[in-house]
Amino acid sequence: MSTGTTTPPSPSHDRGKCIFCKICDGVEPSNIVHQDDEFVVFPDMRPAAPHHYLIVTRQHFTDARSLTKEHIPMVERMVSVGKEVLATQGGSDGSARLGFHWPPFHSISHLHLHVIAPENEMGFLARGIFKTNSFWFVTPETVMARLEDKL
């Protein structure tokens, strides 16, 4: 179910070249655990903990930095979907780490929220890669605060 509006995708974006667009379009196989009009959710291929999901926008956005203030409700919905998926998959949002890799520190140039649980089962390297509010990995709250201040 989709609520709110989003900016149309860039006409120059080629969905056929983006792996996440291909998964959203059903062209590339993935173990999809949730999908709706706005998002597709599947496990990370290199999980940092027993529950590690990617909440991916169907509409192509390059990254969190490319969003505007009008996208704050979409980020809030991404968080809600992430918590719902954790619950249905047997995880707990009370012990979860949620965040976005901040450019240029992302491997896929398509907006996606990492939902990782439980935090205490993350390995040493994963704790560094997904270090909360570092200059390379930021919480949804930090993204929304930056968008709120964006001109």
The confidence score (pLDDT) of residue 144 equals 97
When divided into structural domains, the chain yields a total of 1
The confidence score (pLDDT) of residue 151 equals 56
**Is residue 28 a part of any domain in this protein?**
yes
Q: Which residue has the tokens 């909440």?
A: 55
| Collapsed DSSP state (helix, strand, coil) of residue 142 | helix
**Is residue 7 a part of any domain in this protein?**
no
The confidence score (pLDDT) of residue 135 equals 86
Domain at 77, CATH number? 3.30.428.10
**Is residue 118 a part of any domain in this protein?**
yes
**Is residue 64 a part of any domain in this protein?**
yes
Per-residue pLDDT tens digits of the chain, which is 151 residues long: 444 444 444 444 677 789 999 999 999 989 999 999 999 999 999 999 999 999 999 999 999 999 999 999 999 999 999 999 999 999 988 899 999 999 877 788 999 999 999 999 999 999 999 999 898 999 999 999 999 987 5
Q: Which domain holds residue 62?
A: 24-149
The confidence score (pLDDT) of residue 2 equals 41
Q: Is 112 a catalytic residue?
A: yes
Query: How distant, in Å, are the alpha carbons of 10, 88, 99, 150 from that of 54?
Result: 22, 15, 10, 25
Cβ-based neighbours of 35, under 8 Å, separated by 6 or more: 41
pTM of the model: 0.87
Question: Which position among 52, 60, 71, 112 bears the catalytic label?
Answer: 112
**Is residue 8 a part of any domain in this protein?**
no
Q: Which amino acid is at 86?
A: L
**Is residue 17 a part of any domain in this protein?**
no
**Is residue 110 a part of any domain in this protein?**
yes
**Is residue 68 a part of any domain in this protein?**
yes
